[in-house]
Amino acid sequence: MEHLSPKIIVSGGMGYIGSHTVVLLLNAGYRVVILDNLSNSNKSILQRIQQITGKSASFYEVDLCNKTDLARVFDAEKDITASIHFAALKAVGESVENPLLYYKNNLISLINLLEVQHELGIKNLVFSSSCTVYGEPDALPVTEQSPIKQALSPYGNTKQIGEEIIADACKSSALKAIALRYFNPVGAHDSALIGELPNGIPNNLVPYITQSAIGKRAELKVFGNDYSTPDGTCIRDYIHVEDVAAAHVAALKRLENENIHRNAGFEVFNIGTGRGHSVVEIINSFEQATGCKLKYSVTSRRPGDIEKVYADTQLSNEVLGWKAQKNISEMMASAWKWELENSKNPIQ
């Protein structure tokens, strides 16, 4: 009998990090089933994934907040072995303005997925978490043992609560889960066929930079230069999206090999480079990597923004066997290559 490779559900698999992870999963020989409601993505990403990999993923346009529709997919696909859960709303500012939308979408979708997996005996889950769970940290770099501070936004709180829900589910069932706390994913696939494509005005720095550089935005807005940092602007740990995607494959393999043992079947890992860069440093890096001069102005601080945060990545390096490979210059160059390519051949 033919041995079939594992079949993985990827919720939010048409999104930014999801699509890059699907590419790596397909290239690693997995069968992939993408679930996405296309609220912040586009169906044509599917063809681009196939163009990059020469392989196809199954796709269902489904909202995970509808448990009946979700269960129907699992029933149709039968031999699913694990899920990687990306599907969530993710804009910090929007979550401050519309908290109930974030709590409803991000938590009900997770609970539905956990219930369906439990009912079918599917025990492996990789959860897309965030460094926002640390809030404003007392000490840097943050380790996985750093205190979980009060979240500065409803978005951050949904990631904290999401981790708590999963940890409790692991204690009470056969579920094994890994939460990856990403720092700031940036950049795009080397092919420039997929990348970050925000709806409307970008909430994240790098797409705002690239859109300003190409002329889609009049100028870049820097939210505050009066923070307690060397140049007064916020500091973040920026990491290439392809490195983030690779962490999911490493986490999946750890679950498959049943290496997970701590904390009643639930583990968390920081996914970053271990180095912080300020907003001004990122602007300078972009200009050096691309030769483009940016026009920017400083405006007031943005609600929910953390002053400075960057990762201690020792645990993910040693236990997951994963390490970020790409530097800040490569991140900026790939983001710009994607912006240029998408302006010529936009995702429709």
* CATH number, domain with residue 180: 3.40.50.720
Phi, psi of 202 (to 5 degrees): -65, 145
74 located within any domain: yes
Residue 306 is predicted with a pLDDT of 85
Total domain count, the chain: 1
Q: What is the pLDDT of residue 140?
A: 96
Kindly report the pTM of this predicted structure. Answer: 0.95
**Is 303 within a domain?**
no
Q: Give me the numbers of helices (H) and strands (E) for the chain, helices first please.
A: 11, 13
Q: Which of these, 286, 309, 278, lies nearest to 149 by C-alpha position?
A: 309
Parallel, antiparallel or unpaired: strands 58-61 and 80-85: unpaired
CA distance 269 to 96: 26
pLDDT at 253: 95
In angstroms, rounded to a whole number, what is the distance separating the alpha carbons of residues 205 and 220? Answer: 9
3-state DSSP assignment of residue 164: helix
* Structural domain that includes position 103: 7-187+239-272
Residue 217 included in any domain: no
Longest dimension (CA), the chain: 65
Q: 66 in a domain, yes or no?
A: yes
Kindly report the number of other CB atoms within 10 A of residue 342's CB atom: 19
CB distance 300 to 256 below 8 Å: no
* Residue 225, in any domain of the structure: no
The pLDDT profile of the chain, 348 residues, written as one tens digit per residue, is 456 899 999 999 999 999 999 999 999 999 999 999 999 899 999 999 999 999 999 999 999 999 999 999 999 998 999 999 999 998 888 899 999 999 999 999 999 999 999 999 999 999 999 998 998 899 999 999 999 988 888 999 999 999 999 999 999 999 999 999 999 999 999 999 999 988 888 888 999 999 999 999 999 999 999 999 999 999 999 999 999 999 999 999 999 987 666 556 899 999 999 999 999 999 999 999 999 999 999 999 987 788 999 999 999 999 999 999 999 999 999 999 999 999 998 887
Q: Taking a C-beta distance cutoff of 8 angstroms, is the pair 272, 186 a contact?
A: no
What is residue 263's predicted lDDT score, i.e. its pLDDT?
53
**The predicted structure's pLDDT at residue 260:** 67
Return the pLDDT at 1: 41
Rounded to 5 degrees, φ, ψ at 118 are -65, -45
Question: What pLDDT is recorded for position 198?
Answer: 83
In whole angstroms, what is the distance from residue 319 CA to residue 251 CA? 10
Backbone angles phi, psi at 238, to 5 degrees: -90, 135
Q: Is residue 157 part of a domain?
A: yes
Q: Which residue has the tokens 């940890």?
A: 167
Q: Which of 30, 102, 134, 155 is catalytic?
A: 155
| 310 assigned to some structural domain | no
Contact of 331 with 253, CB cutoff 8 Å: no
pLDDT for position 262: 54
Alpha-helical segments (H) within the chain: 16-27, 45-53, 67-77, 92-97, 99-120, 154-172, 205-214, 241-256, 279-290, 314-318, 328-344
Helix, strand, coil share (%) of the chain residues, nearest 5: 40, 20, 40
- Is 348 domain-assigned? no
Which of 177, 178, 69, 174 minimizes the C-alpha distance to 119? Answer: 174
Active site residue 155: yes
